[in-house]
């Protein structure tokens, strides 16, 4: 590996964090920009991560009583018109379909033809089109609760895009549920927030703070928006999932009504909740290092890669046979519900190049198997998260591989929690707050500060000032008992006015 | 059940086949038309079928070495321009995105704004956009074969649509592979055709004929198009899947080249293959009857529904406890790799109404459990495909449930094969052919004829005449050894000219 640079990824996080992020994605072969502005191509390694995220979350949704359905990609303009009247801050950047045909013009060039009577919008989110169905599906209290989820692609015409974090088209799931009363709808809202938080911590190994958004950060049309917020390695916050209690607002605009047990017609209470391919960006920025991606074992496209080492054809047959039988023994075991995913890399590449390709892809465990290992009945194991390497008795390794993978999973979560603790500060003075969010000499401009736990007087004016002067927002008001929760009264860090508890301040993606 | 009509679905197949099809979908609550022209809403029961189809096929794709990826929803107009020059019969009915923003006009109404420099097309298929990536991904023979699949939504602006069979937006998978030589690409083409045929017969219980399309029915741009063709209960053919050998045509238009072992640059050989939500339409028209849907157990969203029967609260507790323990015992077992899916329907509905709702959804096995059954330690079992009902000892039922489900699966396939045989005829005279494809007195206009196995001189003129005069097409030239295969030379049924073997003629969807 002497030919390798000191770190596999150039630049390093410390040298240029935003560029490091893009280079990690490139080195792991996860995704690339496409010729279509703002749309990405998700390559097999990146898509396998999404498939694992999707399969796990889908199981959690079904365990909590939800079923999947599919609604149209297109939304009639008139639906958004209605929406725009109900909702301030309605997003207008979207893909508009105006024609339904291509025709060859005089010069033989194809041009749009057959204009539509009413333009169609490619869904930026499906509330309005799903609401139209729900209004027909829901008639009686017997039809409630209605618990629907959709896996889909959505499009928002973002000006500045970054792979996984913000793209014009992205993949997501959107849950939409209908309930007879507020209590039931609020319980659903919190249930799904918990599902997201459990998934983030147990599978992505990404610690999150569950909290409520302030009025100014709330989803347009929602009564309450709840979120999970994670800290990235540049100490910025990433909003990783949201769950909204919509009250009766969407029920009124979509006319979702039901006959209650007393025979009265009532507007329903609805919720919506979603996570997207953005989670993959969060996973990268939580765990990857200057040698590339590190994948939490629970979501790894491959748990173990076996690298056969041999000099000649005689060796080769021997070594590959040993590798195959080892692969079979490993594949027979399960991490959680899933069989171990094990691959043998017999590509015709130099050893160093081959090893580094798996380091950069972040596979949790790498195993070298050569004639000497076979003779000794051992395997040479490298652990991606710590870089530890050791020669282990083969049968001992097979017997401990699940524990080893779980140890990696646990270490990634513990490491991320320690990082968050290290870069979170309880701040009670405005000077200290401004210093915390201003690069000090020696700081890289992109890497400084972190989370600040501060008292706030509850006014939007203070939020506006923080945004204006520091580019800082209130990420959430932590839920009772959450990490960062503190409801002891105090004085607003900006105004000195009374505060009922601390909020989480940070710069954010 | 006395309040029930003689059949649950009105009209019956014999009375009005096309309307029967729509009523089956409605009664099973599978899908509905949306306010967006030609786009359907796939409801939970229909979508669960798609999820099961998707999960099973995805496993088969991965076992054959394929990986999933995701490419942009939008295709730049210039890509289709290039395509249109290479390919005759290039489809021009599509959704065209021309603007990227909505703005409030003077009257406050939202109107399209920010016109795009180049219009974008919502993908009708992804050959061109995937080709652009493949041209960059493929450099050397070491990169081959490249075996990629995508699960996606696609849009074709169809004029006349029918739920599942033909919709403007539909869900599908499209496989796209790149190979070093023709032999390898042709082997892939046939491998995936076999995967489709095995899936259709083993999971959908839908018998299919594997064959090659004639030149006039070939996919534009393909060297050879292979298909699986099934017979619906109105005796029409449904093309249920296609696998194309594209030769070097797409490699040339997308510039997919590689350096071979000798260091020479070569154009690659590519394939593509796909199936869609149309398979659900095929499943309905293969198995459903005048009481509604019949779902093959291998794909059933629920394998067994348990219907508790009780008079009062005391009964209820008792009966539900018995049902729960029965459900647990059943759920512990596996059909293939999958745990039995069992549901207890304790909705507050009249017994008849409740039972019929599951008949119409086509659940393979229904179980009534009442106090008398509990006393007798038995369950009352109804089988959807045959209508058989019997009281069975509980433990015997638990011990035989997998065999019972497999028996239903086998019966559905056998029944469909017998139907196809019954309505297929070897025809050697033009008069007989014309009579076969013309409603006779007593025939319903939509239900007559079937498949005809005829000799053909290989000319497109004959195909045009058959289409013109009988609305009949050559569905395929059966592969060697396939059902319907007959390579004994003969004389064209239309012209008397020499023929090398029989082809399958039918009216088709």
**Complex prediction ipTM:** 0.96
- Interface contact B96-A73, CB threshold 8 A: no
**Mean pLDDT (whole number) for A194-203:** 98
Question: Cβ of B414 under 8 Å from any chain A Cβ?
Answer: no
In A256-393, which ranges are continuous DSSP H helix?
Answer: 278-287, 313-331, 351-361, 371-376
- Count Cβ–Cβ pairs < 8 Å, chain A vs chain B: 181
Q: How far apart are CA A4 and CA A398, in angstroms?
A: 31
b/e A216-241 (16+ beta carbons within 10 angstroms → b): ebbbebbbbbbbbbbbbbbbbbbbbb
Query: Is 3.20.20.80 the CATH number for B424-506?
Result: no
The residue among A74, A119, A338 with the most chain B CBs within 10 A of its CB, best to mutate, is: A74
Contact state of A36 with B129 under an 8 Å Cβ cutoff: yes
Distance from CA of A110 to the nearest CA of B (A): 6
The predicted-structure confidence for B465-499, as pLDDT tens digits, reads as follows 999 999 999 999 999 999 999 999 999 999 999 99
Nearest to B72 by CA among A355, A316, A52, A155: A155
Dihedral Cα B403, B409, B415, B420, nearest 10 deg: -150
Query: What residues contact residue B414 under an 8 Å CB cut-off, 6+ apart?
Result: none
pLDDT tens per residue, range B183-211: 999 999 999 999 999 999 999 999 999 99
Q: How far apart are alpha carbons A254 and A244 in whole angstroms?
A: 17
Specify the length of chain A in residues: 509
Q: Please check whether residue B280 is in contact with residue B343, taking contact to mean a CB–CB distance below 8 angstroms.
A: no
**Model confidence at B315: pLDDT above 50:** yes
Summarize the confidence of residues B441-468 as an average pLDDT: 92
- The mean pLDDT of B44-72, rounded to a whole number, is 98
Cβ within 8 Å of residue A102, ≥6 positions away: A110, A111, A112, A113, B77, B80, B92, B94, B96, B121
| A80: helix, strand or coil | helix
Q: Are B149 and B173 in contact (CB under 8 A)?
A: yes
Q: How far apart are CA A471 and CA A144, in angstroms?
A: 43
Phi-psi region of B451 (alpha: psi -120 to 50; beta: other; left: phi over 0): beta
Looking at the DSSP bridge assignments, the partners of residue B498 are B491
For residue A66, the chain B residue with the least C-alpha distance is B44
Pair of tokens at residue A401: 């591989």
Nearest by CB to residue B96, choosing from A44, A71, A112, is: A112
Assigned token pair, B304:
């067994």
Chain A CB contacts of B132 under 8 Å are 34-35
Q: Pick B476 or B447 by higher pLDDT.
A: B476
Polymer length in residues for chain B: 509
Instruction: For residues B4 and B10, give the distance between their C-alpha atoms in angstroms, rounded to a whole number.
Output: 11
Are the Cβ atoms of B101 and A122 closer than 8 angstroms? Answer: no
pLDDT at A5 over 70: no
Q: Would you give the DSSP letter of residue A316?
A: H
Q: How far away is chain B from the Cα of A443, in angstroms, using its nearest Cα?
A: 38
Contact B98 A98 (CB under 8 A): yes
Work out whether the CA dihedral A41, A46, A47, A51 comes out positive or negative. Answer: negative
Looking at the partner chain, which of A47, A100, A103 has a beta carbon nearest the beta carbon of B70? A47
Residue given tokens 């729900």 in the structure block: A134
Residues with Cβ within 8 Å of residue A386, at least 6 apart in sequence: A411
How many whole angstroms separate alpha carbon B194 and alpha carbon B210? 8
A185 token code pair: 């709808």
Closest approach of chain A CAs to the CA of B33, in angstroms? 10
Q: For the residues A392-399, what does the mean pLDDT come to?
A: 97
Q: What is the DSSP letter of B36?
A: S
Backbone φ and ψ of A81, nearest 5°: -55, -50
pLDDT recorded at residue B87: 61
Q: Is B195 exposed, middle or buried (0-12, 13-18, 19+ CB in 10 A)?
A: buried
Nearest chain B CA: its distance from A376 CA (Å): 33
Contact B171 A142 (CB under 8 A): no
**Residue with token string 């009509």:** B5
Three-state DSSP class for B307? strand
Q: Mean of the pLDDT values across residues B296-319?
A: 95
- The whole-number average pLDDT for the span B350-372 is 95
pLDDT tens column, B250-297: 999 999 999 999 999 999 999 999 999 999 999 999 999 999 999 999
**B110-160, pLDDT tens digit by residue?**
999 999 999 999 999 999 999 999 999 999 999 999 999 999 999 999 888
Backbone angles phi, psi at B350, to 5 degrees: -60, 145
A346-358 confidence digits (pLDDT tens): 998 888 999 999 9
Q: Tell me, what's the pLDDT at B88?
A: 60
Contacts of A223 (CB under 8 A, 6+ apart): A245, A246, A247, A249
Question: pLDDT-derived band of residue B220, with 50, 70 and 90 as boundaries?
Answer: confident
CA-based nearest residue in chain B for residue A42 = B70
Q: Nearest chain B residue to A29 by CA: give it.
A: B137
pLDDT in tens, A236-295: 999 999 999 999 999 999 999 999 999 999 999 999 999 999 999 999 999 999 999 999
What residues of chain A, 18 to 77, have a C-beta less than 8 Å from chain B? 32, 34-36, 39-44, 47-48, 50-51, 67-77
On whether any CB of chain B is under 8 Å from the CB of A105, the answer is no
Helices (H) and strands (E) in chain A, counts: 13, 27
Q: 3-class DSSP state for residue A305?
A: strand
Evaluate if residue A89 carries a pLDDT over 70: no
Q: Does residue B401 surpass a pLDDT of 80?
A: yes
Interchain pair B102, A110: CB under 8 A? no
Question: Cα separation of B194 and B237, whole Å?
Answer: 19
Asked if residue B215 lies in contact with residue B237, where contact means CB atoms within 8 angstroms, the answer is no
| Torsion sign, CA atoms B356, B359, B361, B363 | positive
**pLDDT score recorded for residue B337:** 86
Q: Are A36 and B96 an interchain contact pair (Cβ–Cβ within 8 Å)?
A: no
**Is residue B282 a contact partner of residue B24, using CB atoms and an 8 Å limit?**
no
Confidence band for B444, pLDDT divided at 50, 70 and 90: confident
pLDDT, tens only, A209-237: 999 999 999 998 899 999 999 999 999 99
Per residue in A92-126, pLDDT (tens digit) is: 899 999 999 999 887 888 999 999 999 999 999 99
Task: Tell me the nearest-neighbour CA distance from A385 into chain B, angstroms.
Answer: 26
Q: Which of A73, A93, A153 sits opposite B100 (nearest CB)?
A: A93
Contact B94 A101 (CB under 8 A): yes
- Per domain, the residue ranges of chain A are 17-98+124-210+246-287, 299-420, 424-506
Whether residue A6 lies within 8 A of chain B, CB to CB, comes out as no
Q: Which residue in chain B has the smallest CA separation from A34?
A: B72
- Specify the residue for token string 């699960």: B151
Of B244, B242, B227, whose CA–CA distance to B274 is shortest? B242
d(CA B450, CA B426): 11
Q: Which of residues 130-149 of B touch A (CB under 8 A)?
A: 132-133, 142, 148
Q: Class of B17-98+124-210+246-287 per CATH?
A: alpha beta
Q: Is B10 helix (H, G, I), strand (E, B) or coil?
A: coil
3-state secondary structure of A438: coil
- What band does B2 get if pLDDT is binned at 50, 70 and 90? very low
Rounded to 5°, angle at Cα B314 from B312 and B317:
105
Find the angle CA(B154)-CA(B156)-CA(B157) to the nearest 5 degrees. Answer: 140
Q: What residue spans of A425-503 are helical by DSSP H?
A: 430-436, 460-470
Q: Search chain A and give the residue with CA nearest B91.
A: A102
For residue B142, the SS3 value is helix
Mean pLDDT, range B218-237, rounded to an integer: 96
pLDDT (tens digit, 9 = 90+) per residue, B373-383?
999 999 999 99
Q: Which CATH fold topology does A299-420 show?
A: Rossmann fold (3.40.50)
CA distance B267 to B254: 10
Q: Which residue of A has its CA nearest to B115?
A: A96
Identify whether the C-beta of residue B272 lies closer than 8 Å to the C-beta of residue B374. no
Q: Can the peptide bond before residue A97 be classed as cis, meaning omega within 30 degrees of 0?
A: no
The residue-averaged pLDDT of A4-21 equals 90
Question: Region A14-33: what's the mean pLDDT?
Answer: 97
Q: Residues 249 to 308 of B: which have CB under 8 A from any A CB?
A: none
Query: CB–CB of A102 and B109 under 8 A?
Result: no
CA distance A47 to A24: 15
Instruction: Report the gap between the CA of B453 and the closest CA in chain A (Å).
Output: 38
Question: CB–CB of A44 and B102 under 8 A?
Answer: no
Mean pLDDT computed over A135-157: 97
Query: Would you say A365 and A382 are in contact if contact means Cβ atoms under 8 Å apart?
Result: yes
Higher-confidence residue of B32 and A220: namely B32
Contact A390, A400 (CB under 8 A): no
Looking at residue B441, its pLDDT comes to 79
Those of residues 331-360 in A touching chain B at CB distance below 8 A are 347-348
Predicted confidence at residue A1, as pLDDT, reads 44
Are the beta carbons of B142 and A51 separated by less than 8 Å? no
Is B509 a residue whose pLDDT tops 90? yes
CB atoms within 10 A of CB A395: 12
Q: Identify whether the C-beta of residue A122 lies closer than 8 Å to the C-beta of residue A95.
A: yes
Tell me if residue A394 falls in helix, strand or coil: helix
Contacts of B72 in chain A (CB under 8 A): 34, 36, 39-41, 169
pLDDT > 80? residue A91: no
Bridge partners of A76, per DSSP, are A120
Beta strands in B389-493 (DSSP E): 389-393, 424-426, 451-455, 473-478, 490-491
Residues within 8 A of B (CB atoms), A 163-222 only? 169, 171
Decide if A98 touches B, using CB distance below 8 A: yes
- CA A193 to chain CA centroid, Å, is 14
Inspect the interface and report whether the beta carbons of A41 and B96 lie closer than 8 Å.
no
- Search chain A and give the residue with CA nearest B120: A36
Residue A112: closest C-alpha in chain B: B96
Residue B278 is inside which H or E element, if any? helix B278-287
Distances A194 to A197, A200, A206, A227 between C-alpha atoms, Å: 5, 10, 14, 10
Q: Cβ of B174: how many Cβ atoms within 10 Å?
A: 21
Distance of alpha carbon A380 from alpha carbon A306, whole angstroms: 10
Which chain B residue is nearest to residue A146, measuring alpha carbons? B44
The DSSP symbol for A447 reads B
B42 conformational bin, left if phi > 0, alpha if psi -120 to 50, beta if neither: beta
């Amino acid at each position: 590996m002497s030919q390798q640079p000191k770190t596999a990824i150039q630049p390093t996080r410390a040298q240029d964090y935003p560029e490091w992020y893009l280079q990690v994605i490139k080195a792991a072969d996860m995704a690339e920009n496409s010729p279509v502005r703002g749309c990405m191509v998700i390559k097999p390694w990146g898509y396998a991560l999404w498939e694992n995220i999707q399969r796990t979350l889908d199981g959690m949704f079904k365990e909590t009583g939800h079923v999947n359905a599919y609604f149209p990609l297109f939304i009639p303009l008139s639906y958004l018109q209605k929406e725009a009247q109900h909702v301030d801050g309605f997003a207008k950047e979207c893909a508009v379909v105006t024609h339904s045909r291509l025709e060859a013009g005089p010069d033989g060039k194809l041009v749009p033809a057959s204009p539509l009577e009413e333009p169609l919008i490619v869904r930026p989110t499906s509330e309005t089109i799903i609401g139209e169905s729900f209004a027909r599906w829901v008639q009686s209290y017997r039809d409630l609760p209605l618990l629907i989820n959709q896996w889909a692609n959505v499009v928002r015409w973002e000006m500045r895009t970054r792979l996984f974090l913000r793209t014009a088209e992205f993949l997501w799931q959107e849950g939409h549920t209908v309930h007879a009363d507020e209590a039931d709808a609020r319980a659903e809202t919190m249930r799904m927030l918990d599902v997201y938080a459990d998934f983030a911590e147990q599978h992505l190994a990404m610690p999150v703070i569950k909290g409520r958004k302030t009025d100014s950060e709330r989803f347009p049309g929602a009564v309450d928006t709840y979120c999970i917020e994670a800290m990235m390695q540049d100490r910025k916050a990433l909003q990783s999932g949201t769950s909204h209690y919509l009250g009766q607002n969407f029920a009124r605009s979509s006319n979702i009504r039901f006959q209650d047990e007393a025979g009265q017609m009532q507007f329903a209470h609805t919720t919506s909740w979603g996570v997207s391919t953005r989670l993959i960006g969060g996973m990268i920025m939580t765990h990857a290092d200057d040698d590339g991606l590190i994948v939490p074992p629970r979501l790894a496209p491959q748990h173990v890669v076996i690298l056969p080492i041999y000099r000649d054809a005689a060796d080769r047959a021997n070594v590959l046979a040993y590798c195959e039988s080892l692969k079979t023994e490993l594949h027979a075991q399960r991490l959680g519900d899933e069989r171990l995913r094990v691959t043998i890399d017999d590509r015709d590449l130099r050893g160093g190049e081959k090893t580094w390709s798996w380091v950069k892809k972040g596979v949790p465990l790498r195993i070298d198997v050569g004639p000497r290992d076979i003779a000794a009945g051992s395997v040479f194991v490298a652990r991606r998260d710590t870089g530890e390497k050791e020669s282990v008795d083969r049968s001992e390794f097979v017997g401990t591989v699940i524990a080893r993978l779980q140890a990696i999973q646990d270490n990634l979560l513990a490491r991320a929690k320690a990082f968050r603790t290290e870069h979170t500060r309880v701040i009670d003075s405005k000077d200290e707050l401004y210093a915390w969010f201003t690069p000090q000499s020696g700081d890289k401009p992109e890497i400084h500060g972190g989370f600040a736990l501060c008292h706030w007087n509850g006014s939007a004016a203070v939020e506006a000032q923080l945004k204006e002067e520091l580019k800082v927002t209130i990420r959430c008001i932590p839920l009772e008992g959450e990490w960062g929760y503190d409801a002891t009264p105090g004085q607003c860090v900006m105004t000195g006015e009374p505060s009922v508890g601390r909020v989480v301040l940070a710069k954010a993606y």
